[in-house]
């Protein structure tokens, strides 16, 4: 760091002709730097204008898509869509703000820097011409004095007339005094003034450059502070959203538009027992046999019937045990994931994205397997309840044992077991197929 008590150095201290080109070079580079910043500012302004235009078009396009692809298909409302519209509005404001930044850069910064470059370039050109003219005057003065000195020496050495010698002497001395006076004026007044003028021009250039760099930063700071404040408020508002409330609002809107029909419970038509009796061809024996036995098992004392029911009981109990194990395994896998379904992080790469997608698909597939198992379990539990030994037994004609056995040759357990096994197999196959086709863009 320079000593505070030391005299400030200036261009006046660099008056020697050999360092003149260094001063000129420094001034030229500073002016070129000002021009560089001007170009930078202009290109930044163009980028802001282009971005503003593109952002505005983006908002227009997505407003149109929202109307045609979302609201056109289902009239939706609520905080979620208000937030979306607010985000579009913030983007539109961002576009307008960028356009404003570009205009300020073009008017305030570009104008100042352009004028500075033009003025200082002209001043430098004139200062270079002035220094060149002064150097020529000094050189010619020196040459003229040298000629007079040579003429005076020649007359003096030739021992000419005394009056001629005196005239030559006086002329030489007069010119010598005049040139020395010129030298003195040049060294102590003219050149320092020229150098000071050049220094002042350079200081103004540096000051203009620094001020405009600061102005660029100040404009951008103001822009970002305004946008930060607006977006910060938007973020605070967006954190108050409640998914349950959004869903409830939509359901309420459905009730209003459908006259409350959506509140009606879903009526599943349960299967009813249909008697095989034909009204046109009634068999009195069969009619008597079925009377009072609707939706109840007919339990015969014969060994074949006992064996069939016993087999049903055993198969039902065994399958329920298997289902219990399968449910335990699935629940052990599903429950830890329920509270933390994988979410993509910003710095995830494509491989990580694909892994997360596969995990989500596997999670959903296992959840569906659990649903199918629970459905099968409900069937078996209902059948088990029907097969409990506390049911009253009934006697029947032993002659019908063989026919009853043939009708029930394919037991109920087998029917449901095969049906649910087929469903689970198809679900697994479709899930694996989807995983293979998944790709992360």
The pLDDT assigned to 402 comes to: 43
Tokens of 249: 């609002």
In a domain, 221, yes or no: yes
Task: Give yes or no: residues 64 and 193 share one domain.
Answer: yes
The pLDDT assigned to 83 comes to: 86
207: domain CATH number is 1.20.1270.60
CA pair distance 11, 31, nearest whole angstrom: 17
Within a 10 A sphere around the Cβ of 407, how many other Cβ atoms?
8
CB under 8 A, 24+ apart: contacts of 122-130 = 123/197, 123/198, 123/201, 124/24, 124/27, 124/28, 124/31, 124/198, 124/201, 127/194, 127/197, 127/198, 127/201, 128/24, 130/194
Choosing from 182, 215, 245, the residue where a domain stops is 245
Task: Give yes or no: residues 352 and 236 share one domain.
Answer: no
**Contact (CB, 8 A) for 315 and 413:** yes
**pLDDT over 70 for what percent of the chain?**
70
Task: Give yes or no: residues 206 and 347 share one domain.
Answer: no
In a domain, 288, yes or no: no
Task: Give yes or no: residues 234 and 323 share one domain.
Answer: no
The pLDDT assigned to 391 comes to: 47
Residue with tokens 């569906």, as numbered in its chain: 368
**3-class SS shares of the chain: helix, strand, coil, % to 5:** 80, 0, 20
Q: Which residues contact 367 (CB under 8 A, 6 or more apart)?
A: 334
The more confidently predicted of residues 328 and 396 is 328
Task: Give yes or no: residues 65 and 190 share one domain.
Answer: yes
Q: Is 113 exposed, middle or buried (0-12, 13-18, 19+ CB in 10 A)?
A: buried
In a domain, 262, yes or no: no
Task: Give yes or no: residues 106 and 29 share one domain.
Answer: yes
Task: Give the total number of structural domains in the chain.
Answer: 2
Mean pLDDT across the chain: 77
In a domain, 281, yes or no: no
The answer, yes or no, to whether residue 434 has pLDDT greater than 70, is: no
CA pair distance 397, 284, nearest whole angstrom: 14
In a domain, 265, yes or no: no
In a domain, 284, yes or no: no
E-strand ranges in 15-147 read none
CA pair distance 194, 135, nearest whole angstrom: 13
In a domain, 252, yes or no: no
In a domain, 255, yes or no: no
Task: Give yes or no: residues 100 and 188 share one domain.
Answer: yes
Task: Give yes or no: residues 225 and 332 share one domain.
Answer: no
Choosing from 221, 245, 269, the residue where a domain stops is 245
Task: Give yes or no: residues 352 and 228 share one domain.
Answer: no
Task: Give yes or no: residues 91 and 28 share one domain.
Answer: yes
pTM equals: 0.61
Mind listing the pLDDT tens digit for each residue in 123-180? Answer: 999 999 998 998 999 999 999 999 999 988 888 888 766 778 888 888 889 988 999 9
**Contact (CB, 8 A) for 286 and 277:** yes
Tokens of 378: 């409900």
Choosing from 219, 245, 271, the residue where a domain stops is 245
Parent domain of 128? 12-245
Task: Give yes or no: residues 306 and 237 share one domain.
Answer: no
Q: Give the closest residue to 439 by CA, choosing from 343, 345, 358.
A: 358
Mind listing the pLDDT tens digit for each residue in 14-73? Answer: 778 888 889 999 999 999 999 999 999 999 999 999 999 999 999 999 999 988 888 777
Task: Give yes or no: residues 240 and 299 share one domain.
Answer: no
Q: Identify the DSSP state of 400.
A: G
């Amino acid at each position: 760091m320079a000593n505070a008590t030391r005299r400030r150095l200036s261009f006046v201290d660099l008056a020697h002709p050999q360092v003149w080109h260094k001063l000129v070079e420094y001034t030229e580079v500073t002016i070129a730097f000002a021009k560089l910043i001007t170009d930078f500012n202009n290109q930044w302004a163009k980028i802001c204008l282009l971005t503003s235009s593109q952002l505005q078009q983006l908002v227009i396009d997505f407003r149109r898509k929202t109307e045609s692809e979302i609201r056109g298909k289902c009239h939706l409302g609520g905080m979620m869509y208000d937030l979306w519209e607010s985000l579009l509005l913030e983007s539109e404001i961002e576009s307008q703000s960028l356009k404003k930044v570009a205009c300020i850069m073009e008017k305030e910064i570009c104008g100042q820097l352009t004028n500075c470059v033009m003025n200082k370039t002209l001043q430098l050109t004139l200062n270079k011409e002035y220094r060149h003219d002064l150097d020529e005057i000094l050189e010619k003065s020196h040459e003229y004095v040298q000629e007079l000195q040579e003429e005076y020496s020649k007359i003096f050495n030739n021992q000419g007339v005394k009056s001629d010698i005196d005239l030559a002497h006086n002329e030489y001395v007069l010119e010598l005094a005049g040139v020395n006076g010129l030298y003195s004026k040049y060294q102590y007044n003219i050149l320092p003034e020229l150098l000071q003028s050049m220094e002042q021009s350079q200081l103004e250039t540096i000051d203009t450059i620094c001020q405009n760099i600061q102005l660029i930063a100040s404009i951008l700071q103001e822009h970002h502070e305004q946008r930060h404040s607006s977006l910060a408020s938007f973020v605070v508002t967006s954190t108050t959203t409640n998914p349950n409330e959004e869903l409830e609002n939509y359901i309420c809107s459905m009730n209003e538009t459908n006259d409350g029909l959506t509140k009606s419970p879903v009526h599943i038509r349960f299967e009813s027992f249909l008697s095989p009796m034909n009204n046109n061809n009634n068999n009195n024996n069969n009619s008597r046999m079925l009377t009072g036995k609707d939706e109840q098992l007919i339990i015969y004392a014969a060994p074949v019937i006992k064996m069939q029911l016993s087999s049903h009981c055993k198969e039902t109990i065994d399958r329920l045990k298997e289902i219990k194990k399968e449910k335990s395994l699935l629940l052990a896998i599903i429950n830890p994931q329920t509270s933390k379904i994988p979410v993509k992080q910003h710095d995830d790469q494509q491989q990580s994205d694909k892994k997360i997608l596969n995990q989500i698909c596997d999670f959903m597939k296992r959840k569906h397997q659990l649903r199918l198992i629970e459905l099968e379990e409900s069937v078996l539990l209902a059948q088990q309840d029907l097969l409990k030994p506390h049911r009253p037994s009934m006697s029947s004609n032993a002659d019908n044992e063989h026919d009853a056995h043939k009708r029930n040759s394919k037991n109920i357990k087998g029917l449901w077991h095969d049906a649910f096994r087929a469903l689970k197999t198809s679900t697994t196959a479709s899930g694996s197929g989807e995983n293979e086709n998944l790709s992360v863009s």
